[in-house]
């Protein structure tokens, strides 16, 4: 069978399926030099006068006979001869009348519209393509987004290369609708993939400062020894042993009278575990422990770019959890910004400490009670054990907001799974010497006890969404290279766009 599974194509230039008759070598050359300059590089809004867009025929095994019946006889014969069966993620190049590429047959999974086109930009010959039949309205934007994600560069060697081989023909409105989302995903991936020696607390703070400058937002920063007096004793305690001083950055944007949305992102630029040192395998990818901060930065930019009718307060506590003379110790008791005495059960449960101070600061200093509080964090291995790498855990104290987020997450193929704030487990955080432990002494329900710890710092009357995410792809899949990944970001933006639409 000459149809090829998209995921199995080698990611190299000059792929030449030599057995396909009637196609020139130039037409059969696949380019993977994906442009890093703009998400628009994956698309085009017009055609040269003498050129026609190459049709892409999406089909399932059950629909294949009717699709073949619509094709020119030579193409249909070629598809039958090769044994193309339209199984998901398979593709077949169809010969054209003038020894060029006449079309593409693509086997798809109807339940996965986001990823149907994601494998194509890396393997199709250079040219301009179009969908042969209109997609359902609820799927069109996902198809376009998947194509664009598949066109993003996947490694350093393609990061600065201009040009793009395969482009999808869209209307200007369709292109403009997908571009911010692609840019946001790419921003998250870029930040999470940076090594800790390139993205420490100071550099992460600079990302927030540059974001504020781009959108005319207000920016503040607290650094090092100034942190405890400003209400960030937990942040200071976690980060004081590192070579770069810990810090907290704050961006505010939007008119004072608009509803306030607080966004807090965990910014642990590297997590050794502290004195409760992680094993080597557990430490290897801890550059990604600032994934929550990357999501917060990207979400804030999406909101500002869309000019939603909302005021946002983005707070990023940025630290490295290092081992040194000043390292936080098991048994230490630190007083949080809200006055809670926290006994350190485990120095590797540091993310919730810095989030706690950041949440309290944002809520305490708000001119009006927030309409919504969001925190994003690569917080617990327990969430990954429960839900795996692709499914972030959602915790919330407010059913309406939680259910709305789950609904839009399903609509936008950005899945989340709600876990309970099971109050009886608070007993696991009981301390004999302070108000609370920072982690349960028993290795059970870890994602829940972490969320319960954070709940102490959010007044019960304020709607709160807590996302415990992985921010990482373990495996190479079309549109999802190994490394940093955005999870829950598009769902959150869809929810904010729904609740606070731009005027």
Give me the phi and psi of 221, to 5 degrees please.
-150, 140
Phi/psi at 102 (5° precision)? -100, -15
User: Rounded distance, CA 191 to CA 214, Å?
Assistant: 17
Name residue 358's beta-bridge partners: none
- In terms of Cα–Cα distance, which of 43, 80, 41, 88 is closest to 61? 88
Would you give the DSSP letter of residue 256? T
Helices of type H across 392-439: 399-411
DSSP 437: E
Three-state SS for 202?
Answer: helix
- Confirm if 438 and 489 have CB atoms less than 8 A apart: no
DSSP code for 186 = H
Query: What is the three-class DSSP state of 203?
Result: helix
Residue 340, classified by CB atoms within 10 Å of its CB into exposed (0-12), middle (13-18) or buried (19+), is middle
Q: Say how far apart CA 39 and CA 182 lie, in whole Å.
A: 6
- Residue 122's nearest CA partner among 11, 286, 268 is 11
What is the spatial distance between Cα 272 and Cα 376, in angstroms, rounded to a whole number? Answer: 20
Measured at the alpha carbon of residue 163, what is the angle toward residues 159 and 168, in degrees to the nearest 5? 110
Provide the 3-class DSSP secondary structure of residue 238.
helix
Active-site pick, 186, 352, 384, 480: 352
Is 278 among the residues known to form the active site?
A: yes
Cα distance between residue 484 and residue 152, in whole Å:
13
Query: What size, in residues, is the chain?
Result: 503
Describe the chain by its helix, strand, coil percentages, rounded to 5. 35, 20, 45
156 in active site? no
Strands, DSSP E only, in 431-496?
Answer: 436-437, 464-468, 472-473, 483-484
CA-CA distances (angstroms) from residue 37 to 33, 147, 154, 159, 413? 12, 16, 13, 9, 26
Task: Considering the candidates 5, 11, 209, 278, report the single residue annotated as catalytic.
Answer: 278
Return the half-sphere exposure (C-beta side, CA atoms, 13 A cut-off) of residue 251: 30
Nearest one of 485, 425, 492 to 465, comparing CA atoms: 492
Give the H/E segment covering residue 57.
Answer: strand 54-59
Give residue for tokens 């793009």. Answer: 164
Helix (DSSP H) and strand (DSSP E) numbers for the chain: 14, 21
Residues annotated as catalytic are 278, 352
């Amino acid at each position: 069978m000459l149809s090829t599974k998209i995921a199995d194509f080698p990611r190299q230039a000059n792929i030449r399926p030599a057995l396909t008759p009637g196609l020139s070598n130039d037409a059969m050359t696949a380019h993977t030099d994906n442009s890093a300059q703009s998400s628009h590089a994956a698309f085009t809004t017009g055609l040269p006068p003498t050129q026609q867009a190459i049709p892409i025929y999406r089909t399932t095994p059950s629909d294949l006979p009717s699709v073949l019946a619509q094709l020119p006889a030579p193409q249909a014969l070629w598809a039958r001869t090769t044994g193309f069966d339209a199984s998901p993620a398979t593709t077949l190049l169809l010969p054209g009348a003038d020894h060029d590429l006449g079309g593409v047959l693509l086997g798809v999974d109807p339940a996965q519209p986001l990823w149907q086109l994601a494998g194509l930009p890396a393997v199709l010959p250079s040219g301009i393509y179009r969908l042969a039949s209109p997609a359902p309205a609820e799927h069109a934007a996902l198809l376009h987004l998947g194509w664009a994600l598949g066109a993003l560069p996947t490694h350093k060697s393609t990061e600065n290369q201009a040009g793009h081989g395969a482009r999808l023909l869209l209307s200007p409105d369709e292109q403009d609708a997908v571009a911010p989302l692609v840019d946001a995903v790419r921003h998250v991936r870029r930040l999470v993939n940076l090594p800790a020696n390139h993205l420490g607390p100071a550099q992460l703070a600079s990302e927030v400062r540059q974001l504020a400058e781009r959108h005319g937002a207000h920016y503040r920063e607290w650094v090092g020894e100034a942190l405890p007096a400003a209400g960030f004793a937990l942040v200071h305690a976690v980060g004081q042993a590192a070579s770069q001083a810990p810090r907290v950055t704050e961006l505010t944007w939007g008119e004072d009278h608009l509803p306030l949305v607080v966004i807090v992102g965990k910014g642990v630029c590297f997590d050794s575990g502290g004195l409760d040192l992680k094993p080597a395998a557990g430490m290897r990818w801890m550059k990604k422990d600032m994934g929550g901060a990357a999501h917060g930065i990207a979400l804030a930019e999406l909101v500002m770019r869309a000019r939603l009718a909302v005021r946002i307060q983005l707070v990023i506590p940025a630290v490295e959890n290092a081992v040194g003379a000043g390292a936080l110790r098991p048994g230490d008791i630190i007083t949080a910004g809200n006055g809670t005495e926290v006994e350190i059960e485990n120095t590797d449960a540091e993310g919730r400490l810095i989030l706690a101070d950041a949440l309290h600061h944002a809520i305490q200093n708000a001119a009006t009670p927030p309409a919504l509080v969001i925190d994003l964090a690569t917080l617990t291995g327990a969430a990954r054990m429960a839900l795996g790498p692709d499914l972030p855990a959602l915790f919330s104290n407010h059913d309406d907001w939680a259910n709305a987020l789950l609904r839009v997450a399903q609509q936008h193929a950005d899945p989340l799974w709600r876990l309970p704030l099971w109050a009886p487990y608070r007993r696991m955080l009981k301390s004999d010497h302070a108000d609370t432990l920072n982690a349960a002494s028993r290795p059970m329900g870890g994602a829940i006890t972490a969320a319960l710890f954070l709940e102490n710092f959010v007044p019960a009357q304020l709607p709160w969404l807590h996302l415990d995410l992985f921010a990482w792809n373990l495996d190479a899949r079309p549109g999802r290279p190994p490394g940093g990944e955005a999870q829950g970001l598009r769902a959150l933006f869809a929810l904010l766009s729904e609740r606070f639409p731009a005027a």
